[in-house]
Amino acid sequence: MASQTINNIGSYLKFVIYEPEEDTFFILDNLIPIGKILEMGAGSGYISLALAEKGFDVTAVDIDPEAINRIKSKNKNIKTVVSDLFKNVDGKYDTIIFNPPYLPGNVNEDRTIFGGKNGQEVIQNFLSQAYEHIEKNGKIFIIFSSFNDIEYLKKKFQRYCFRKINEKKLSFHSIFIYVLWRCEDEIQ
C-alpha cells in the first residue's frame, strides 16, 4: 500500500491510499449513477475509473496528493482535485459517491478507515458540506456502518431524505449503502 508523509502545521500525517475492499465493490454494485459524477475520498480511484470507462464525466477528490496522482496516471480524462472534503471543490454534481472512513478511531492514525471518535465525524462534515454541491434531483450514494448512528444522522441532517438500498454483513460489523437526496426535490 502506497503511503506518503507530509508536514502539516508541525505534525506529521501519514496518508495511505485506500485500496478496493468489500465496501468498494458493494457500493459499485449498488450504484445507479446519473450525469456529472463526483467521487469523494476516491482513494485508489477504483470507482472513478470504472465509471469513467463507462463514459461518465467523473471528478475524483482525495485529500492525498499521491492518490490523485495515481488516478491521473491511470486515466487522464478524470478530473482530479486534492481536497479535504469539499474545501477545494467547485460546482454541483448529479451524483456524489462517498465511501467514507466509518470506523471509530483516531483519524490521524488512519484516515482511510477511522472516521473520528464515534466513527461518523467525517460523515457529518461531509453531509454538512455536500448539500451545496448536489444538483437539483441529484443523488448521494454513501456507505454507513453498524458502528454509525444512522438515526442520529437522519435527525441532524433533515434536509436530506435517506433511503437504504442494501446491506451486507462483514466479519465484525455490517455496512449499508444509502441514497440521499435533497428533500425539497421531488425524486425517489
Query: Which tens digits make up the pLDDT trace of 154-175?
Result: 999 999 999 999 999 988 889 9
Pairing of strands 58-62, 11-16: unpaired
Q: What is the pTM of this model?
A: 0.86
Please identify which residue in the block is written with the cell numbers 478507515. 113
Q: What mean pLDDT value characterizes the chain?
A: 87
In order, the DSSP letters of 72-89 are HHH-TTSEEEE-STTTT-
Calculate mean pLDDT across residues 124-141: 97
Distance CA 58, CA 37 (A): 5
Domain ranges of the chain: 17-182
pLDDT one-digit tens code per residue, 65-89: 999 999 999 999 999 999 999 999 9
At the top level of CATH, the class of 17-182 is alpha beta
- Residue 3: the pLDDT is 34
Q: How many residues does the chain have?
A: 188
